Amino acid sequence: NAGVTQTPKFRILKIGQSMTLQCAQDMNHNYMYWYRQDPGMGLKLIYYSVGAGITDKGEVPNGYNVSRSTTEDFPLRLELAAPSQTSVYFCASSYSSVGATNEKLFFGSGTQLSVL
């Protein structure tokens, strides 16, 4: 199993450009998440999905969009990139809610994004 795969690993964007961060998991997990990690900070939830066709906002959703057309994929779209979106982005997945007994998050290796 590859687990959670994120691409690209690094990207530099100019202000106003758009891009999509890809995330795929091969564990048949229902739940998928996007987090961002700013320097010196913990992770903050951007969006999450509890299954194909279902998405919802997390703590910091502004400037992002997501879709979940399949169980495996959960892309994150940045429209009109801004310097405030410079961050490390992590995708994660779990079979059920992390707020459940013995459940755990599986993380991808992250995407370092710089907006200049």
Chain residues that interact with other proteins, rule: CB under 8 A: 31, 33, 40-45, 48, 50, 56, 58-59, 88, 90, 92, 97-101, 104-105, 107, 109-110
Cα 79 to Cα 10: distance, rounded to the nearest angstrom: 17
If the CB atoms of residues 95 and 107 are measured against other proteins, the closer one turns out to be: 107
DSSP string, 29-70: -SEEEEEEE-TTS-EEEEEEEEETTEEEE-S--TTEEE--SS
Nearer of residues 80 and 104 to other proteins, judged by Cβ: 104
- Our CB check for other proteins shows the closer of 14 and 101 to be 101
- The nearest distance, CB 102 to other proteins, in angstroms, is 8
* Distances, alpha carbon 32 to alpha carbons 23, 29, 55, 70, 86, in Å: 9, 7, 9, 11, 22
User: In the beta sheet, which residues pair with residue 112?
Assistant: 10, 88
Report in angstroms how near the CB of residue 74 gets to other proteins at its nearest.
Answer: 13
Locate 110 and state its tokens.
């992250």
Q: How far is the CB of 85 from other proteins (least distance, A)?
A: 18
Nearer to other proteins, 32 or 115 (CB): 32
Shortest Å, Cβ 68 to other proteins: 14
